[in-house]
Amino acid sequence: MPELPEVETTVRGLRKILLGHSIVAVAVRTKQLRFAFPRGFSGKLQNARILGVERRAKYILISLSTGQSLLVHLGMSGRMQQTSAAQKPARHDHVVLTLSNGTTVTYNDPRRFGVMDLVATGREDEHKLLRTIGPEPLGKDLNVDYLTEKLRGKKTAIKVALLDQRIIAGLGNIYVSEALYWAGIHPARAAGDLKKKEIEALIPAIQKVLKASIKAGGTSMRDYVQADGALGFFQNQFAVYDRAGQPCPDRACRGLIKQMVQGGRSTYFCPRKQR
């Protein structure tokens, strides 16, 4: 999916479109996404005014005048964007919100791995899906002491550990490969064996990659688009992801990018630079 940069980009776009407007109509066009919609979903959004649009991990939180927040996860293939009210819904347009100014915002998700739920505003962190999520990687809670403690004794590969949302929020398959490349760490290393110096390199590498991607509007490979329909361009800056067989971006290294499978998912790395 959409990993942190894509969700952040979506949130920033939605904020401009949604903030201050009211929802006048809600069309739910599928039985369920990953879970069934909560009881009375449409009715509880009806006539609500949108007070805020925030991100936590890979979740979008839209706070409403009703005291509830709409929680949205884009799953693997989801997108949420402004659409034309005149246009009839497309395949996989599962939820269409119509605003008081006539704008429509559509949630489209071919694979339906996404989520929509309602949660009391201010108590979002107590939601079942958010309760166990780790610190935001761009905040001060992700630091060397925290990560050292969290990885201590772990035999899992560092690649797999970084995908675990309980350790760090928001990373996914693309940005983990990219961050490990910039930190010079081999993805198969046991997480608990990383040296202090390596953890000190890893945190800024994660932050650098995420920030660069947000700046580029995220990554558009298949489904993802920003809230205004624009594509993201971070795929043009990939160092390793989806680049198997191609040269390491460090020309002096002369290594070739390798692909392997860890935890059932592809990992990309430079075997010469990452040890």
Phi and psi based region of residue 82 (left: phi greater than 0; alpha: psi -120 to 50; beta: remaining): beta
Q: Determine the Cα angle at 239 with ends 1 and 13, to 5°.
A: 40
Q: Which is nearer to DNA, 15 or 34 (CB)?
A: 34
Per-position DSSP letters for 172-211, written without gaps between them: -HHHHHHHHHHHT--TTSBGGG--HHHHHHHHHHHHHHHH
What residues act catalytically?
Answer: 2-3, 58, 265
| Chain centre to alpha carbon of residue 261 | 21
Residues that bind DNA (CB under 7 A): 1-3, 6, 34, 57-58, 73, 75-77, 91-92, 110-113, 129, 154-157, 160, 163, 165, 172-174, 218-224, 232, 263-266
Is 132 in a helix, a strand, or coil? Answer: coil
What span, in angstroms and rounded, lies between the C-alpha atoms of 105 and 95?
8
Alpha helices in 47-133 (DSSP H): none
In terms of CB distance, is 21 or 92 closer to DNA?
92
Distances (CA, A) of 88 to 84, 122, 231: 8, 36, 22
Structure tokens at 67: 């005291």
Helix 196-215 to helix 4-18 angle (10° resolution) is 40
Sheet holding 93-99, edge to edge: 23-28, 93-99, 104-108, 79-83
Rounded Cα gap, residues 30 and 22, in angstroms: 23
The residue among 31 and 251 lying less far from DNA, judged by its C-beta, is: 31
Three-state DSSP state, 162: helix
Taking the complex as a whole, how short is the minimal distance between the CB of residue 164 and DNA, in angstroms?
Answer: 8
Question: In terms of CB distance, is 53 or 71 closer to DNA?
Answer: 71
Q: Is the Cβ of residue 69 or residue 226 nearer to DNA in the bound state? A: 226
Q: Based on CB atoms, which residue is closest to DNA, 15 or 154? A: 154
Name the minimum Å distance from CB 219 to DNA: 5
Q: What is the four-CA torsion angle of 27, 33, 37, 41, rounded to 10 degrees?
A: -30
